[in-house]
Structures are given as structure tokens and as C-alpha cells.
Amino acid sequence: MKYFQPIDETMPVDQLRELQGRRLADVVARVYRDVPFYRRKLDEAGIRPQDIWSIDDLAHLPFTTKEDFRDTYPFGLLARPMSDIVRTHASSGTTGKPTVVAYTRADIELWADCCARTLACGGADRHSVVQVAYGYGLFTGGLGMHYGSERLGAMTVPVSGGNTRRQLMLIQDFGTTHLCCTPSYALLLAETADEMGVDLRKTNLRAGYFGAEPWSGSMRRAIVDRLGVEAFDIYGLSEVIGPGVASECCAHAGMHIFEDHFYPEVIDPATGKAVPDGTRGELVFTHLTKEGMPLLRYRTRDITRLEHGTCACGRTFARMERVSGRTDDMLIVRGVNVFPSQIEHVLLEIEGAEPHYRIVVDRRGRLDDLEVQVEVSPQLFSDEVKEMEGLRQRIANELHSTLNVNAKVTLVEPRSIPRSEGKAQRVVDRRQMETS
């Protein structure tokens, strides 16, 4: 199956813009009427709902931020009475309270459709066996993909994250064709399969839907090679709906944003102004159809760029490039801006370095110290001190020329960096721990 909802997914663009404009006018009227937070914000900006006619009017609307969630915690952004809410999810913040989101029954239906679209994008259909190895619970990954798989009519295996050996048993015994998990967990599955003598390339596994965390092109190559699957990047966030916001199709030319429901913009994070199409910036979403907690111009902090134009797959929806970082994950080390994704990119291009690493930032005296701990491949982890030292030097040199800052490189034993069954935690910032 190529599309789940072909009429929507391949709608001519002028028709799509018209639909988006109508839906925008409707959602603005709804939040103005039903959410005191938005009524105040719109009043302050001097905007009356009747001023909003078309999707081009979006730029006049105020932004919504993560801080607004914190200030209205937990249910201050609800646009419906509690009695209409049937589900809540939450994403754990780095500090303090989680970000809470709420769904009406119609929102759950919409979510199932969008996750079914995601699965269809990667070729799954009612004959598929879909193993959902994202965590079930307050995290949206498990339940989102679960409902999507059922909506598609596939056989759904709700195994959740963890219990890696059992995951591998099920892949073999149930003939799993499609796997859903984080890219870092996919690598742990591959590693464990090696230990158990299981060749994943000989199973029925055909495709994987990997997301919920950033991953590089080199990590993709490692996954494709070791699991023997076609890899699809899938993107989403709790505040928008969970997974099912955007997904890669078989053309592998970016992720289609389901923009009949979630309207995307890319802005310059410093000025808040839209950037020209194809330029990197911060991704912003406006809900067009959600009922429980619709948001206007929500700033995701994710950095990407958009491309418009019909894709080889026939979909007309805008495509977003792989997320290259977050506006808030930038580390400032001795005054130099460092993105963890740059470090990963360097490491994965170097033979002998494994895609398992940890970045530790500390403060010694008044200076910041950057340490990069890298696992080496079992083949290279030898007593040959000279070889190891050569690799260490090579990594240090490459990091210096990319980052423009000196990093202490520590090579660590194979499998000594903790593995993750969900989102990988790669950065340990001890400077923040001291102050908070």
C-alpha cells in the first residue's frame, strides 16, 4: 500500500492551501472562545478571530512556547471541558514538571490515522506484522504507533521497549516485518542479535520506523546494514500529537509533514521571522484540526528546513529534512558553540569508532572542559597501545578541526557506554548539575 488516505495525501496544493486557511480560521475562533490563555494573547496582539481568513494570515499570530506549557501546567491549555478528554500523555522535561497534553476521542482518531499514514509511507499494509518497541505509557511512541498499526489493519505486536532478547525471539517466531523503535534501540537489538548468533538479515524484517531522537546518516547506514531493513525516519512530538507528524516515504527525500492537520513554518529562532523556503531554522507548528489542546504557532526548538513540491511518491505535502539539532541542545564550551550532532558526525566517519559515545562537559576552575568518551570496536580494542593511541589522536584532531575547540578523547571498552531502550542520553552537562 502506498498511501493510507490517498485523497488527502495527494491533494493539489491550491486546494490544500484553501483547506488549511478554512481550518486555521476555525481553530483561531475556537481557541479565542474557549481558551483564556489564547484570548488574552490574541487580545494583546490586537487580533480578532474574524481577521484570520487564509493561511497567509498565520504570520500575524503570536507564538506558543514550551514555557507557556510550564506556566499553565497541567491543563491550562485545554480547549474542551475535562469530560471530553479521553487521554493524556506527557513528555519528561529536562528539569521539573513534564509537558502534559490531552486528547478528545476525535483527536485519538486523528492520531491513529496519522500513524497509519506513517506506516503506509514505509510500505506496511494489512498483511504486515508490526512490532511496536517504543515505550508504552505516558510517552507517545508506543500507543501512537500501536493505534496506527491497528488502524492500518496490520497485526500489531505491542511489546513496548526493553527485554531485548525477547524482542529478538518475537521477530523470529512471529515473522515481524516492520519494526518501530528508536534508532539507538535498533542498534542495541543488532548488537544483542550478534551475541545470540541471530542474523537479523535472514528474518522477515523488511522495514523500520525510527524516530524520537536525532540520528545521523552514518547511523542510518549502520542500522540498514546490521538489521537488513529499509530505514524510515519518523518525526513527531507530544505537544503536536506524538509520532505521526511527519514521515519519510519510499523516495527517501525528506519527511512528509501531514500538513492538512499540522501546519509547518520555519523561522529564524533569533528574530521569529519566516526564513526563505529551503533555509534551516526552527520548526513551528499550528494545529488545524485538533480539539483537546490546539496550539497556535508552537515553537518546537527543532532545527530543520522545508521543501515544497510534489514528491516522487505522489504526495503533495511539504517535506522536512532530518532534524539537525535543537535550538536548546547547543553547548557553549569556552565560548564556542558545539552541537552534539557535529560530534556524532565526526565519530561515525572514523573507522574503529562505534556509534556509542557520551559527551561530558564539566567546569574546571573558570574553564569548560569537553570530554568525548567513545567506544571502540571489539576488533580494535586490543592491547596494541600504539594503535589505540593513533585512533584517539585521529578522533581528537578531527573533532578539533570541526568544532574549533579542544576535546579530551577517551576510548572506552566495547559495551561500556550504557545502552538505551528508548531515547539515548548522550550529553552529561555537569556544569548545570552544579548550579541547579
- Which of 238, 316, 341, 373 forms a contact with ligand DLL (CB under 6 A)? 238
Contact of 254 with 158, CB cutoff 8 Å: no
Find the distance separating the first CA and the last CA of the chain, reported in whole Å: 51
- State which amino acid sits at residue 135: G
- Supply the minimum distance, in Å, between the C-beta of residue 141 and ligand DLL: 3
134 binding ligand DLL? (CB under 6 A): yes
Q: How far is the CB of 407 from ligand DLL (least distance, A)?
A: 23
Q: Of 64, 140, 177, 203, which lies in the binding site for ligand DLL, with binding defined by CB under 6 A?
A: 140
5-44 positions binding ligand DLL, by CB under 6 A? none
| Interface pick for ligand DLL out of 208, 242, 281, 292 (rule CB under 6 A) | 242
Please report how close the Cβ of residue 52 comes to ligand DLL at its closest, in angstroms.
26
| 119 touches 129 (CB < 8 A) | no
Nearer to ligand DLL among residue 181 and residue 409 (C-beta) = 181
**CA–CA distance, 174 with 99 (Å, rounded to integer):** 36
The answer to the question of residue 161 lying near ligand DLL (CB under 6 A) is no
Per CB under 6 A, which region of 138-146, 185-193, 287-295, 312-320 contacts ligand DLL? 138-146
Q: Is position 409 an interface residue for ligand DLL (rule: CB under 6 A)?
A: no
Coil vs helix vs strand at 175: coil
Query: Is 243 one of the binding residues for ligand DLL (CB under 6 A)?
Result: yes
Point out the residue whose Cβ comes nearest to ligand DLL: 211
Q: Which is nearer to ligand DLL, 21 or 208 (CB)?
A: 208
- 340 lines the binding site for ligand DLL (CB under 6 A): no
**Closest distance of CB 191 from ligand DLL, Å:** 21
Point out which span in 13-21, 137-145, 186-194, 291-299 binds ligand DLL (CB under 6 A).
137-145
* Amino acid identity, position 57: D
* In the complex, least distance from residue 422 CB atom to ligand DLL, rounded to whole angstroms: 9
Largest CA distance in the chain: 73
Taking Cα atoms as reference points, which of 161, 114, 156 lies closest to residue 133? Answer: 161
Residue 126 phi, psi dihedral angles, 5° rounding: -70, -10
300: contact with ligand DLL by CB under 6 A: yes
Cα 211 from chain centre:
5
> Contact region for ligand DLL (CB under 6 A) — 25-33, 235-243, 358-366, 390-398?
235-243
Q: How far is the CB of 150 from ligand DLL (least distance, A)?
A: 16
Q: How many residues bind ligand DLL (CB under 6 A)?
A: 21
Residue 123 — left, alpha, or beta (φ > 0 → left; ψ -120 to 50 → alpha)? Answer: left
Residue 1: strand, helix, or coil: coil
Q: How many CB atoms lie within 10 A of CB 351?
A: 8
What is the grid cell recorded at 80? 474542551
Q: Is the four-CA dihedral 284, 29, 241, 292 of positive or negative sign?
A: positive
Q: Which is nearer to ligand DLL, 42 or 237 (CB)?
A: 237
Compute the chain's Rg from CA coordinates.
22
- Pairing type for strands 207-211 and 178-181 reads parallel
213 is a contact residue toward ligand DLL (CB under 6 A): yes
Q: For residue 294, give the nearest of 358, 337, 362, 239 by alpha carbon.
A: 239
Task: Please report whether residue 374 would count as binding ligand DLL according to CB under 6 A.
Answer: no
Please report, as ranges, the residues that interact with ligand DLL according to CB under 6 A: 91, 134, 139-141, 211-214, 233-238, 242-243, 300, 302, 323, 326
